[in-house]
Copies of this chain bind each other. A is one copy, B any other.
Amino acid sequence: MELTFLGTSAGTPTRARNVTGLALQHGGPRHWYLVDCGEGTQHQLLRTRLSVMQLQAIFVTHVHGDHTFGLPGLLSSASMNGRTTPLPIIGPPQLRNFLEITLASTDSRLGFELQFINAEADDFHWQDDAVGVTSIPLSHRVPCRAFRFDELRVERKLLTSKLEADGVPAGPEWGRIQKGEDVTLPDGRYIASKDYTEIPRPPRRVVIAGDNDTPELLAGACREAHLLVHEATYTRNVAERVGPWPQHSSAEQVALFAQAIGLPHLVLTHFSSRYQFQAGRGPVIDELAGEASAFYDGNLVLARDFMQLRLNRDLSLEALDA
């Protein structure tokens, strides 16, 4: 499972950071999902290997413009580039009205179908061959969701010594048993796959949250999660100066939550545009890292645009070269 951060700024873009967009790859390099789509997401994609032709679904946490204004352009460009495959758009129900009216009033006709799916429905669940996705309500100025991605197909390990001990001859049957298939041997014996295989590791589980002032709402969803991507719009002192109205989290809040639940990997993103990479012109992103690491002992990462992270099968998190 690979994450590519396409934008890490809150509200407005800066020269170094775009507004929110996050690509999640799983099931091969040409199989990816987009979570949120701020203005300029399609421009960011031009600097990656990801193509809208292979995009499997778009997930939208909430309607705010810094998470949605890139949708009409990305969809139009996909169409102009020849996409015909239907595209699920999974998010708040208002998205449908926004997109349909935007596309109609700008004479933008898509060459593929948009399949709108309400992520706020009580029974929301989505899956394809590679992942199952659920949504978790958060606390923000508008309805907002986190999405939990669960890996669906964990490769089974064949218990070869047990097969040999029971006299199941090596051959094509072993391959079928490993793939989860029950087989009947030539001698009439029924071999159930589950008796001769084991699942050697937990399925990977990643939670990607939208804007949220109450990280604790994710306690249930983060149980057995390996990685949480969460906003940390401010440091605590800036959050106190700004006041509660924007309904964002501070780095301290998210770190305390991640520590309390024993989360292995925490990635912070969605930093207020006031935070700079370099000292000299206002607060720096290092202040957010410093604050979070004071409260969280796990693996802390502060996202930056075009950062690529891979959650390996052994559940280690690896930064890839851009």
Contacts and interface: CB of A to CB of B under 8 A. Distances in A.
Nearest to A70: B39
Contacts of A18: 43
Total identical chains: 2
Contacts of A63: 105-107
Interface string A85-105: 000000000100110011001
Interface stretch (A6-14, A187-195, A235-243, A253-261): A6-14
Contacts of A142: 107
Determine chain A's interface SS by DSSP, over half rule: loop
Contact of A65 (B12, B66, B106, B141): B106
Contacts of A40: 39-40, 43
A77 interface: yes
Nearest to A38: B73
A160 interface: no
B102 A98 contact: yes
A186 B226 CA distance: 90
Interface string A1-38: 00000000001111100110000000000000000001
Interface of A: 11-15, 18-19, 38-40, 42-43, 46-47, 63-66, 68-70, 72-73, 76-77, 80-81, 94, 97-98, 101-102, 105-108, 141-142
Please list the 3 inter-chain residue pairs (A to B) with the smallest Cβ-Cβ separation, ordered nearest first.
A39-B73, A98-B105, A12-B77
Given A39-B73, A40-B40, 11 more contacts: A12-B80, A13-B42, A39-B39, A39-B42, A63-B106, A64-B108, A65-B76, A68-B106, A69-B76, A97-B105, A107-B142
